[in-house]
Structure 1
Amino acid sequence: MGFEQGGTAPDSTTVARALGSLKQNGGNVLVVGTDEESHASICGRLSGESADCARHQLFVRADRSRRAVESGADRDGVDWVVAYSSGDADSSTPPSIDCRLEPAFGDGFDPADQAWQSTSRSAADASFDELTALGSEIVGAVDEFDGDQGGVAPAQLRLCVGSLEPLLTDHDAENVFRLLHVVTTRINRTNGMGHYHLPVDRKHEAVRLLEPLFDAVLEVRTWGGGIEQRWHFRDRNASSSWLPV
């Protein structure tokens, strides 16, 4: 198992400790990479589907289908769905994972488009209001889990945001950053573990913009017939080599 730290000699201890801390104490992970199968595979693991103890799971995903059908348009707004699954450690049936990556980034996504630039005040205000409502719903769901349980154990609460693409496409980047700041902060306060899918290359401008909000960036890919992962811990200036999932 190889690791890199600050571009110097490999240091497996640094990344091993970072991974151990993330598993024990929770944190927020930005999952990047263009291969959908890899995202789906890592999502189950990060959501705790193979755990032998109860996990409280919260899924946030975009659904364009209803409004698109009603309007007859292919792209007419986003309905955000917040779904819950409270796992039961004594149940023979594991909690189901419902993470949909669609819609992924398409040819029409461009970091230079209006989603990344300032918009008119009225449009920006509407965007901010919509994201504020979504953020309130997510934080409220976390509060409900936390309150019902009288406080959840570290890393017991798992949040999955199925794709950040609709947020970055339909809203001003600054407002998206604010939303994610609120959500990641609440997850950290609960010692939960949140992961957020961004199906783009590690070097994409969107990753550079959002990376400061996260404890780690996780690259995933399909390689040699299998799925691999590579971890980057910004605060520790350490990265792992490509490892099998």
Structure 2
Amino acid sequence: MVAGGGMGPDDEGVSFAHALATLKEQGSALLVVGSVPEEMFADASATMLGDPSADPPRRRLVVTPEPNQVNGVSRLRETGPLSSEYARLVTRGEAARSAAADRPLDQVSPRTHVVDGTVYELGSTIAEVIDEFDLFAGGLAPAEFRMAFDCLPTLLSTYGREAAFRFLHLTIAQARAVSGLVHFRLPRALDSEIVRLFQPLFDATVELRIDGGNLDQRWHFRDRDLTSDWLPIDRST
């Protein structure tokens, strides 16, 4: 789920590893912050969606605005099977619907759900996908369900903070009910007012930065007095 590495003293490294293991065992919601290019966020997001060699494969959902649809498909392709019992894409808008319809029949792509309506419809679609994954799995194991949610800036600009907060609260509860690992992108600084508003909903905040051309991450755990060092992103999960 996260790059390996220590935090300095050995006891701190053990505490960090234990905190990560607890998130996997219980299910968790992560807020991913920091302004980095789309392709670099996609790399970090893919590590959270899961190891493509995992057995059984992770059941992955990517929720993305229409302009990032290709980005979402790429993450699903990199992290496991694309059949409908293991991978789904939720996106918005008529153009997204047309793009899905025009996709060549011989092109292997995940099943795509296009949402044209309200935030309620978006939430209902996510809930339906979770229920279907749970049915396919015969009951989802801890950390088997993974979701990347890229639409938080869109929700904020379209519906406002109050509606976005309610949506996050409900969606996170649905994911936690199946012990899923879900992450929501908010490309703002860690100390920004909007990040502070949403942080109490999440188990941890993952801060991204670019350092010398490399992508690093730093984890801040809500219920522990624990913050990791800056760590390089890798694909261990």
Q: TM-score, normalised by structure 1?
A: 0.69
- Find the partner of 1:2 among 4, 7, 18: 7
- 2:122 is paired with a residue whose SS is helix
Q: 1:18 to 1:151 in 2, by over 3 A?
A: same
The residue that corresponds to 2:228 in the other structure is 240
Give the deviation of 1:232 after TM superposition: 0.4
Q: Distance in 2 between matches of 1:135 and 1:163?
A: 12
Matches within 5 A, 1:194-213: 194-213=182-201
Does the 8 A contact of 1:49 with 1:96 survive in 2? no
Q: Distance in 1 between matches of 2:151 and 2:198?
A: 13
Q: Distance in 2 between matches of 1:99 and 1:132?
A: 14
Q: 1:193 to 1:133 in 2, by over 3 A?
A: same
Q: 1:212 to 1:17 in 2, by over 3 A?
A: same
Cα RMSD (Å): 3.2
Q: 1:143 to 1:231 in 2, by over 3 A?
A: same
Q: Distance in 2 between matches of 1:98 and 1:43?
A: 14
Matches within 5 A, 1:1-245: 1-2=6-7, 11-36=12-37, 37-53=39-55, 54-63=57-66, 87-88=80-81, 130-245=118-233
Give the deviation of 1:202 after TM superposition: 0.9
- 1:11 is paired with a residue whose SS is helix
Give the deviation of 1:88 after TM superposition: 4.4
Does the 8 A contact of 1:32 with 1:219 survive in 2? yes
Does the 8 A contact of 2:61 with 2:88 survive in 1? no
Does the 8 A contact of 2:63 with 2:89 survive in 1? no
Q: Distance in 1 between matches of 2:67 and 2:81?
A: 31
Q: Which runs of 5+ in 1 are unaligned?
A: 5-9, 66-82, 101-128
Q: TM-score, normalised by structure 2?
A: 0.71
Structure with more of its chain in helix, by fraction: 2
Does the 8 A contact of 1:32 with 1:220 survive in 2? yes
Q: Distance in 2 between matches of 1:163 and 1:3?
A: 35
Q: Distance in 2 between matches of 1:145 and 1:187?
A: 11
Give the deviation of 1:98 after TM superposition: 7.4
Q: Deviations over 1:163-209 (max 9, x none)?
A: 31111111121111110111101111101110111111111112111
Q: Which runs of 5+ in 2 are unaligned?
A: 1-5, 69-74, 92-116
Does the 8 A contact of 2:61 with 2:87 survive in 1? no
Q: Which has the larger radius of gyration?
A: 1
Identity, in percent, stands at 36
